[in-house]
């Protein structure tokens, strides 16, 4: 006999018992007669649902269900709810039992509708796992049915061992025991994780993905209606046809699409079956692959190298020419303003004064005032020499008598002739006549 709660840890309590001749299992609601907090705590512990929260009496309708009237008494701290069982007694009021515990088992897959299974954060061992259990997990998570499950991960010392019976439609209703796991953990892929794609737009080799990696699919054996829905999921037009096997070399396929015509979703047609090679599935709007252009031989690098060298030579020549023009302009800027360019170029120029060269070496030219000052100094020097010449001319170059005669001649020239000088004048005239 099995006691269950409708939603794992919350709901009406039912019991499954063997029918007549052990050929039929009978399902009955449990009567609330005699149930108190002690019995509720014991049942919550057996269901792995945490602490007891509350008990309610619900009205029982005998038209469609039966009521199990066995009573319980757990005042002696039993190890299970079945040790609290008493003999069946007459029930004055027919009510069914509603039980609520604090915890609800948390069933999770590591990814959406696929991945590693955990219950309350603990992994589930794959040693006693069955495909039907995977369906319960996927249905409980609103992911449809399971496509397959596999073992993954290393052994563990702490994991759940799950055992379900035919009456458990939720994985949380199944018996769970902690223990060591030597076979790895349970990983499940549900229909809710399935997606399709093709190798080309709207056609080609069909692939299905319901885990981490896509797998190529065998030739689909589904109805035209499901094929149209498959093309619709690919965002293409209606289904066209299935071509023969593709030419590409692929490993043996492990997934196929096969289901009756009354199925409404092609995702539920995925099965783990093998086939030799995939086929090409096409929808309206299919675009076959284009042939890649022929590969061109590598280009000869010699013309490129020559072009680069010529360009470098031109750059060097331009730099040299620019530097020459700059130097020539600097030399012209050092020529005085009154010097002709032709003289400068021919080399016919006076030596530069030492002071001017020093000024050039110091990176500056003498101002016009400095040049004019030096010219004045040269003029003063010339004036001094003129004075010396005048002084020399002022001094007598003849004896004193000569000076007297010169004075007399000067007087005669000015008209100041003395009577005593007539003889001299007549002699002078005689000379001129002759």
What's the CATH number where 214 sits?
A: 3.10.250.10
**173 and 210 share one domain:** no
Q: Does the structure show a pLDDT above 50 at 167?
A: yes
310 or 304, which is more confident? 310
**Which of 78-92, 129-143, 274-288 has the largest mean confidence?**
129-143
306 or 157, which is more confident? 306
How far is residue 194's CA from residue 199's CA, in Å, rounded to a whole number?
Answer: 17
The predicted-structure confidence for 375-416, as pLDDT tens digits, reads as follows: 455 544 444 444 434 444 444 444 444 444 444 444 444 444
Task: Retrieve residue 219's tokens.
Answer: 């030739």
161 or 17, which is more confident? 161
**7 and 75 share one domain:** yes
Domain presence at residue 80: yes
Strands 25-30 and 67-68: parallel
Domain presence at residue 147: yes
Cβ burial of 260 (10 Å; 0-12, 13-18, 19+) is exposed
Domain presence at residue 423: no
How far is residue 211's CA from residue 192's CA, in Å, rounded to a whole number?
Answer: 11
**79 and 142 share one domain:** no
Confidence of residue 91 (pLDDT cuts 50, 70, 90): low
Domain presence at residue 315: no
Check residue 24 and report its DSSP letter: S
Q: What is the mean pLDDT of residues 95-109?
A: 90
**10 and 80 share one domain:** yes
72 or 41, which is more confident? 41
In the prediction, which pLDDT does 249 show? Answer: 54
**16 and 53 share one domain:** yes
Question: 235: left (phi > 0), else alpha (psi -120 to 50), else beta?
Answer: left
Domain presence at residue 44: yes
In the prediction, which pLDDT does 108 show? Answer: 94
Q: Does the structure show a pLDDT above 50 at 13?
A: yes
Residue 377: partners with Cβ closer than 8 Å, 6 or more residues away: none
Instruction: List the domain range (segments joined by +) for residue 262.
Output: 194-283
CA distances from 124 to 67, 160, 354 (A): 35, 5, 106
Cβ burial of 209 (10 Å; 0-12, 13-18, 19+) is middle
Q: Does the structure show a pLDDT above 90 at 418?
A: no
In the prediction, which pLDDT does 63 show? Answer: 61
In the prediction, which pLDDT does 64 show? Answer: 59
Task: Retrieve residue 96's tokens.
Answer: 């069914």
Task: Retrieve residue 150's tokens.
Answer: 């596999």
**178 and 205 share one domain:** no
Last-in-domain residue among 283, 305, 332: 283
Residue 258: strand pairing partners: 221
Confidence of residue 248 (pLDDT cuts 50, 70, 90): low
Last-in-domain residue among 150, 172, 192: 192
Last-in-domain residue among 146, 169, 192: 192
Task: Retrieve residue 304's tokens.
Answer: 């490129």
In the prediction, which pLDDT does 41 show? Answer: 92
Residue 417: partners with Cβ closer than 8 Å, 6 or more residues away: 411, 425
Q: What is the mean pLDDT of residues 176-191?
A: 90
**235 and 201 share one domain:** yes
Helix (H, G, I), strand (E, B) or coil at 63: coil
Residue 3: partners with Cβ closer than 8 Å, 6 or more residues away: 13, 14, 15, 30, 43, 46, 81
**7 and 96 share one domain:** yes
**Which of 39-48, 146-155, 399-408 has the largest mean confidence?**
39-48
In the prediction, which pLDDT does 19 show? Answer: 61
Q: Does the structure show a pLDDT above 80 at 46?
A: yes
Residue 183: strand pairing partners: none
Residue 149: strand pairing partners: 188
CA–centroid distance for 107 within its chain: 34
Number of domains making up the chain: 3
**88 and 113 share one domain:** no
Confidence of residue 113 (pLDDT cuts 50, 70, 90): very high
Torsion angle of alpha carbons 267, 269, 271, 275, nearest 10°? -110
Domain presence at residue 242: yes
CA–centroid distance for 348 within its chain: 75
Share of the chain above pLDDT 90, in %: 18
Confidence of residue 247 (pLDDT cuts 50, 70, 90): low
Question: Residues 308, 301: contact at Cβ < 8 Å?
Answer: no
Task: Retrieve residue 152's tokens.
Answer: 């993954």
Domain presence at residue 415: no
Confidence of residue 252 (pLDDT cuts 50, 70, 90): low
Q: What is the mean pLDDT of residues 339-355?
A: 47
């Amino acid at each position: 006999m099995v006691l269950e709660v409708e939603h794992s840890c919350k709901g009406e309590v039912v019991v499954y018992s063997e029918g007549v001749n052990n050929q039929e299992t009978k399902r009955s609601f449990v009567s609330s007669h005699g149930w108190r907090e002690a019995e509720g705590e014991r049942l919550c512990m057996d269901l792995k649902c945490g602490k007891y929260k509350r008990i309610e009496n619900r009205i029982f309708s005998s038209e469609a269900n039966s009521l199990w009237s066995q009573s319980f008494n757990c005042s002696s701290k039993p190890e299970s709810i079945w040790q609290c069982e008493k003999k069946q007694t007459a029930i004055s009021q027919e009510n069914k039992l509603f039980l609520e515990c604090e915890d609800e088992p948390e069933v999770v897959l590591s990814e959406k509708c696929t991945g590693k299974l955990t219950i309350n954060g603990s992994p589930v061992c794959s040693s006693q796992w069955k495909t039907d259990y995977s369906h319960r997990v996927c249905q409980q998570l609103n992911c449809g049915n399971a496509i397959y499950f596999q073992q993954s991960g290393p052994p563990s010392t702490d994991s759940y061992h799950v055992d379900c019976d035919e009456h458990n439609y939720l994985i949380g209703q199944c018996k769970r025991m902690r223990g060591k796991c030597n076979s790895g953990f349970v990983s499940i892929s549900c229909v809710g994780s399935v997606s399709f794609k093709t190798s080309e737009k709207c056609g080609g080799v069909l692939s299905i993905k319901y885990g981490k990696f896509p797998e190529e699919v065998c030739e689909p054996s589904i109805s035209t209606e499901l094929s149209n829905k498959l093309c619709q999921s690919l965002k293409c037009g209606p289904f066209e046809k299935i071509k023969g096997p593709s030419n590409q070399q692929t490993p043996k396929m492990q997934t196929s699409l096969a289901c009756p015509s009354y199925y409404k979703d092609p995702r539920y047609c995925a099965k783990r079956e093998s086939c030799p090679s995939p086929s090409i599935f096409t929808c309206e709007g299919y675009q076959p692959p284009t042939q890649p252009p022929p590969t061109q031989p590598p280009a000869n690098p010699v013309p490129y190298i020559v072009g680069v060298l010529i360009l470098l030579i031109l750059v060097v020549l331009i730099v040299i020419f620019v530097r020459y023009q700059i130097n020539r302009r600097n030399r012209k800027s050092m020529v005085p303003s009154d010097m002709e360019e032709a003289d400068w170029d021919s080399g016919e120029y006076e030596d530069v004064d030492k002071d001017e060269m020093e000024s050039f070496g110091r990176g500056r030219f003498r101002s016009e005032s400095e040049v004019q000052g030096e010219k004045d100094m040269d003029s003063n020097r010339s004036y001094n020499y003129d004075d010396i010449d005048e002084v020399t001319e002022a001094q007598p170059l003849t004896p004193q008598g000569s000076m007297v005669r010169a004075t007399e001649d000067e007087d005669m020239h000015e008209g100041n002739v003395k009577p005593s000088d007539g003889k001299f004048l007549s002699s002078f005239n005689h000379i001129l006549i002759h």
